[in-house]
Amino acid sequence: MFIINCPYCGEREQSEFKAGGEAHIVRPKQPTELSDDEWAEYLFMRKNIKGIQLERWVHIHGCRKWFNMVRDTSNDQIHAVYKMGEKPPIK
Amino acid sequence: MSDNLRTSASKFIDQTTRVSFKFDGKTYFGFKGDTLASALLANNVHLVGRSFKYHRPRGIMTSGSEEPNAIVQINKNSSVTEPNVRATEVEIYDGLEASSQNCWPSVNFDIGGINNFLSPLLPAGFYYKTFMWPASFWEKYEYFIRKSAGLGQSPAEPDPDIYDHNYVHCDVLVIGGGISGIMAAKISAENNFKTLLLEERPNLGGTTIYQKNDYFKINDQYSSNWLEKEIEQIKNLKNLEIKTRTSVAAYHGYNYLLARENLTDHLPLEKKKNLIRQRLLKIRAKKVITATGSIERPLIFDNNDRPGIMLSSAIKKYADFYGVACGKENVLFTNNDTAYETAISLNNKGIKINAIVDIREQNKSDLTNEINKAGIKIYNSYTVIDTKGYKKINKITIMKLSKDGKTVTDSKIDINCDCLGVSGGWTPAVHLFTQSGGKLKFDDNDNIFIPSKYPSDQLSIGSCNGNLELDDIISNINVSLKNFLKINKTNFENLKINSSKSNSKRNIWLLPSDKTVSKTKAFVDFQNDATAKDIKLALREGFRSIEHVKRYTTTGMGTDQGKLGNMNALGIISDTSNVKMSDLGTTTFRPPYTPLTFGTIVGRNVGEFFDAFRKTPMHNWHVQHKAKFENVGQWKRAWYYPKGNENMHDAVQRESKAAREGAGILDASTLGKIDIQGSDASEFLNRVYTNAWSKLAVGKCRYGLMLNEDGMVYDDGVTTRLSENHYIMTTTTGGAANVLGKLEDYLQTEWPELDVYLTSVTDHYATASVCGPNSKKIISKIIPNLDLSDENFPHMSFKNAKIGNIKCRVMRISFTGEQSYEINIQANYGKSLWEKCMDAGNEFNITPYGTETMHLLRAEKGFIIVGQDTDATLTPIDLQMDWIVSKKKYDFIGKRSLYRSDTIRDDRKQLVGILTDDPNEVLEEGAQIVADTSKKPVEMLGHITSSYFSPNLNKSIALGVVKGGKNMMGQKLFIPMKDKIINVKIADPVFLDKENKRLNA
Ligand SMILES: [Zn+2]
């Protein structure tokens, strides 16, 4: 079980959090303008990386804030957490 | 039979306290401090079980948690019985009853033993190959497999014991209380780290604590004497907590570990009562030091599994620690010096050793010199090729090994023995290290896998780190702990250490014999009866991955998880397939390291504490009025209120009629309620619901449907505009938390620019819903000054009101199709509101109804229940609810998905009404709907989602989803059931009052 450093509350147990999938997938501003394929790309396509992944988490049993995380899926090391709207703090 | 093999006194055993116990119905005596295994061995009982597949007689093989054979059932036929317990770990107490497993009718005469003679028919993959076909026979096979497999008996009654969970935090966790763990714990605690030391055995000190050998000394004392003093000292360290009988089951990432503390298993039955039996420790450690030691490896040769064949280190422990001789005529068989330590111990106690068989061509060490001096015959460069004795070993045959170790030469020599100690070297116990994500590397020198890369702040020390010699262990601890704890010096830098050194090594994974491998039974995994032959067969059949070979041969899949066998299996695979051990890798070690009881895992979360449950403020009223309850999410909801001898059907029929004919009342407090405020609240609702919200006037209510982005219905409910920028949203009871989460997600991540605030107020309000033709009269009695006229308070509107001086909100909304009022009041007035409604409704025969009646009433009206009539594959169009999907709105969650090529298909499953030809036939929910039963396989068109007998229509009604159902109105279809086929017709899903006349009646 991870220890996650919530950007608003500090370090807490993983059981207080919920994962929300890949980060930085922006909902299209004009969905009606999109073809089926383009909409499907937004709706269904997610990366499944072995290695460094940017992902969304929410402190669901805490401050209920969403934030982003840089996690290495091969060893579960969390390299950084950052607030929604911020750029990933890695190169 | 009752030879006493207790040969010497031991300070670890209290020989003044006799303990009586039973094994397979026979009474034996042992002493306090004995394990079941040591007490049985003292009584010369070796045969304790039968093997899993061939039912071969098996004896005690080890002295610890790696035991593969001596697996027993404790206190059979009682509620506290426990199967698959290792006799080598059970501490005996007065009244203990143990019995052997895997045998029927008895361990001495076992019918399954016939498998031993049929063994040519039971090769690797036997289960996969034999029992697959024909599929219809599986039920019969399974019966026999289960009966003959017999991994003990699970208890038939609830577990009466108490279990506990405990969170533990420490700076340094030390796992293992042998010499390494004790040294590490002392260094850590004395350097101001809050330290926790865990040891799975009842006592500290590991194998060193009984080591009285001239060639292993620390500061000129026996290593045992030195360690004893250290143990006494650390007991007083204030930074150190020590727990024995505590085994670490799992080592997860981020130094999170689970350990089981065994508190009462060693106590007599009457002393266990009312005490906590086991405690699960949930440990979060800043640093972890693993000092889990190593496990001796057996040697692989023909018939290496007979009772009386044991690990040489186990024989030493039984002699030195328990004062028990495992045999009277002992032989040791080894590839390293360990067996010589055993020989010295036995010799010093006057226990006879007939010979030592050593596969090494020569060896010179302090230990071998001592044995030579003692005049014990050593056969160098010899191997055991066979053993004899059915229920107990009585003879071995040895032959000379060729130079390359691949064949045997010269003549056979027989040696009599009643106990054979084997040593194939040592395997570091790296299970916990790898569980934590650690990577291993192969050490060619000692043929072991050792830790190479730590995934968290942790350190392996001692023999689990591959440091197999005493001086090695201590010097490594001194170096690595300074670095690990960032300290300048340790307490053990100037120790004087004597440690016997061996000067030769020879490793042969599968020892040769005069027979071909296919004619031998050389066991690799004793518990699962996997032999060298099986592994070679698996490789011949094309299995390459170590994980596949494991599953095909079942090697390492027993309750011992291959603690003894895995390395030998790898070695044989490596030799046979010419792949280096380092390239082969190991199978994954998974938690738990040793089996855990379910009781420990669940702790106190049993019975009413299994899950939290939520009660409405009116709950006690429902209880007093004999309501039956159903679980909806975590809520306990009144299901129906039986009167007299009514069954559920009768009660629901009565409640349903009353609600339509007079007045009914429902506790609707469980519906999710979300308070929505902010200048963009209307815009927000526009985006999350399918219909339009901007034009909803203050004081009005509207039904809304919420989709997922994939266009499928997610939740529904009525939302009310309380004021310009203030709404109250209701959700389904089960969906409340998820809806709030979803709304927060969009607000925070997609639309942070919106000025909207969400608050869950589900628990803040109690809700009584009064419906039926008399509802208006009842409400007017409770709130006399409220204008209830249809002009001023029409359907789908809201008013603030007061009952006495308590504020409440009244919504005129309906889920039943009847005129209906919902009163929402501060939760702590919920019960008195309910009672007021009951009083006021008394003259109109107001009838409380539960969720079942609510479901029936809404089904009559064709209203859906999200989650019952929908299953995340239905769009609003599929539900024939096109009317609620705004065509004008530019966007809302899920809109774009409603015209994907897949969602606009005509032949999607669509919600329709279903009427049976026979009005009294009530369909089963979940029943399949078909058009043609003659063509096999029958095509399934859909299924029934809701079905009731409607007392108000006096016929059976149902809702269901049917492929293309929307355009099949009136069509005849069939519901095939086990014993009949039911004729049905597709109908309008609104069965009652399609014109909504009753809402204003
Ligand atoms: Zn937080």
Domain range summary for chain B, segments of one domain joined by +: 1-153, 162-294+428-499, 298-397+405-424, 667-847, 898-1000
Ligand 1 centroid to A20 CA: how many Å?
15
**B710 to chain A: closest CA residue:** A43
Q: Mean of the per-residue pLDDT values for chain A?
A: 95
Q: Which of the listed CATH numbers 3.20.20.70, 3.40.50.300, 3.50.50.60, 3.50.30.30 matches domain B298-397+405-424?
A: 3.50.50.60
* Two domains, one topology: B1-153 and B898-1000: no
Please give all residues whose CB falls under 5 A of ion ligand 1, grouped by chain where several chains appear.
A 6, 8-9, 59, 62-63
- Residue A76 domain flag: yes
A-chain CB neighbours of B253 within 8 Å are: 1-2, 75-76
Amino acid in position B239: N
Alpha helices in B132-222, H assignment, sequence order: 138-149, 179-190
B437 touches chain A (CB under 8 A): yes
> How many residues are present in chain A?
91
- Residue A91 domain flag: no
**B251 to chain A: closest CA residue:** A1
Q: Which domain holds residue A69?
A: 3-83
Residue B284: how many CB atoms within 10 A of its CB?
16
Closest partner residue to A2 (CB to CB) among B253, B890, B896 is: B253
In this prediction the ipTM stands at 0.98
- Residue A46 domain flag: yes
B162-294+428-499 maps to which CATH number?
A: 3.50.50.60
Q: By the 8 A CB rule, do A56 and B750 touch? A: no
A45 touches chain B (CB under 8 A): no
Q: Which residues of chain B have pLDDT under 50?
A: 1-2
| The predicted structure's pLDDT at residue B115 | 63
Q: How far is B246 from chain A (nearest CA, A)?
A: 21
Please state whether B897 falls in left (phi above 0), alpha (psi between -120 and 50) or beta.
alpha
Q: By the 8 A CB rule, do B55 and B116 touch? A: yes
The CB-based long-range contact list for B21-24 (8 Å cut-off, 24+ gap) reads B21/B92, B21/B93, B21/B94, B21/B95, B21/B96, B21/B97, B21/B98, B22/B96, B22/B97, B22/B98, B23/B48, B23/B72, B23/B97, B23/B98, B23/B99, B23/B100, B24/B98, B24/B99, B24/B100, B24/B106, B24/B107
Among B715, B621, B716, B708, residue whose Cα is nearest residue B667: B621
Partners of B47 in the β-ladder = B59
- Residue A88 domain flag: no
- DSSP 8-class letter at B6: B
CATH architecture of the domain with residue range B667-847:
2-Layer Sandwich (3.30)
Residues with Cβ within 8 Å of A62's Cβ and at least 6 positions away in sequence, in order, are A6, A8, A9, A12, A16, A17
Partners of B294 in the β-ladder = B428
Give the count of domains, chain A: 1
Three-state secondary-structure class, residue B397: strand
The CA distance from B811 to B799, in Å, is 7
For residue B631, give the H/E element and its range: strand B628-632
The CA distance from B278 to B266, in Å, is 11
Interface contact B741-A60, CB threshold 8 A? yes
The CA distance from B538 to B554, in Å, is 11
Closest partner residue to B709 (CB to CB) among A34, A36, A43 is: A43
| The predicted structure's pLDDT at residue B4 | 79
A43 touches chain B (CB under 8 A): yes
| The predicted structure's pLDDT at residue B105 | 57
- Residue A89 domain flag: no
- DSSP 8-class letter at B904: T
| The predicted structure's pLDDT at residue B130 | 54
| The predicted structure's pLDDT at residue B1 | 39
| The predicted structure's pLDDT at residue B2 | 47
| The predicted structure's pLDDT at residue B689 | 98
B798: its two tokens? 């809201």
B898-1000 maps to which CATH number?
A: 2.40.30.110
Among B546, B564, B747, residue whose Cα is nearest residue B65: B564
The CA distance from B353 to B338, in Å, is 15
B270: its two tokens? 């009457």
Q: Is the pTM of this model over 0.80?
A: yes
| The predicted structure's pLDDT at residue B546 | 85
For residue B836, give the H/E element and its range: helix B830-841
Residue A34, domain CATH: 3.30.2270.10
Among B875, B968, B874, residue whose Cα is nearest residue B913: B968
The CA distance from B198 to B182, in Å, is 10
End-to-end CA distance of chain B: 93
- Residue A71 domain flag: yes
Interface contact B254-A65, CB threshold 8 A? no
Q: By the 8 A CB rule, do B175 and B196 touch? A: no
Topology at the third CATH level for domain B1-153? Ubiquitin-like (UB roll) (3.10.20)
